Amino acid sequence: MKLIDTIKYRLTVDVAGRAFLRYERFLNARRLKNARFKSENLAPPLRISAWTKELISLHYFRGRYVEGHQPVAYVTSGGPVEILKALGYYVIYPENHAALAGARHAQMELIQSAEEFGFSQDICSYVRTDLGTALTGKTPVGKLPKPDLLLACTNICQTVLHWYRVLQKIFNVPLVVIDTPFVYTEAPPHAVEYVKKQLENELIPVAERVAGRTLKEKKFKEVVKYSKDATELWLEILNMGRHIPTPISIFDQFIHMAPIVEMRGDKVTVDFYYAMLKEVKERVKKGIGSVKNEKKRVLWDNLPVWYKLSRLAAELADRGVSMPISTYTYAWGELAPLIDIERGMESMARVYLYPILNRGTGHKLEVMRQMVKDFKLDGVILHSDRSCKPYSIGQVPQRNKLMEEFGIPALLLEADHNDERAFSEEQVASRIASFLEMMEVA
Partner 1 sequence: MDILEKIPSRREVIESFKSTGGKIAAVYPYHYHRALFRAFDILPVEVWGPPGIDTTYGSSYLQPYVCSVVHSGLSFYLSGGLDVVDFIVVPHACDSLQGLGSVYIDFVKPKQPVFTIYIPRGRKDLDVEFLSKEFESIFNRLKELTGKSVTEDKLMEEILKEEEALKKVRELYSKREQISLSDYHFYRVVRSREYLPAEKFMEIADHLLENFSDGTEREGVPVIFSGLLPEPMEILEKLEEIDGRIVADDFACCGRRLYGEGKSNNPFVRMAESILNSPPDSSRGATVDERVEHLSSLVKKYGARGVVFYIVKFCEMELFYIPHMMRGLKERGIPSVYIEVDINDPLPDQTITRLEAFVEVL
**Residue ranges that bind partner 1, judged by CB under 8 A:** 117-120, 122-124, 127, 154, 157-159, 161-163, 165-166, 168-169, 177, 179, 181-182, 184-185, 188, 190-191, 193-194, 197-198, 201-202, 360-362, 365, 384, 386, 389-390, 392-397, 401, 414
- What is the CB neighbour count within 10 angstroms for residue 422? 16
Q: How far is the CB of 190 from partner 1 (least distance, A)?
A: 4
Whichever of 34 and 172 has its CB closer to partner 1, that residue is 172
Terminal CA-CA length for the chain: 60
Of 112 and 201, CB closest to partner 1: 201
CB of 355 to partner 1, least distance (A): 14
Measured CA distances, 66 to 54, 90, 159 (Å): 18, 7, 28
If you count them, how many residues does the chain have?
442
CA atoms of 181 and 175, how far apart (whole Å) = 18
- Which one, 133 or 395, has the nearer CB to partner 1? 395
In the complex, what is the shortest distance from the CB of residue 375 to partner 1, in angstroms, rounded to a whole number?
23
CB of 189 to partner 1, least distance (A): 9
Nearer to partner 1 among residue 183 and residue 277 (C-beta): 183
Q: Which is nearer to partner 1, 134 or 223 (CB)?
A: 134
Alpha-carbon distance of 359 to 367, in angstroms, equals 11
**How far, rounded to the nearest angstrom, does the alpha carbon of residue 139 sit from its chain's CA centroid?**
19
Q: Which is nearer to partner 1, 62 or 128 (CB)?
A: 128
CA separation, residue 215 to residues 14, 77, 194, 352 (Å): 25, 21, 21, 19
CA gap 111, 126 in Å, rounded: 9
Q: How far is the CB of 382 from partner 1 (least distance, A)?
A: 10
Asked if 299 contacts 330 with a C-beta cutoff of 8 angstroms, the reply is no
Of 225, 191, 212, 224, nearest to 87 by C-alpha is: 212
Q: How far is the CB of 245 from partner 1 (least distance, A)?
A: 33
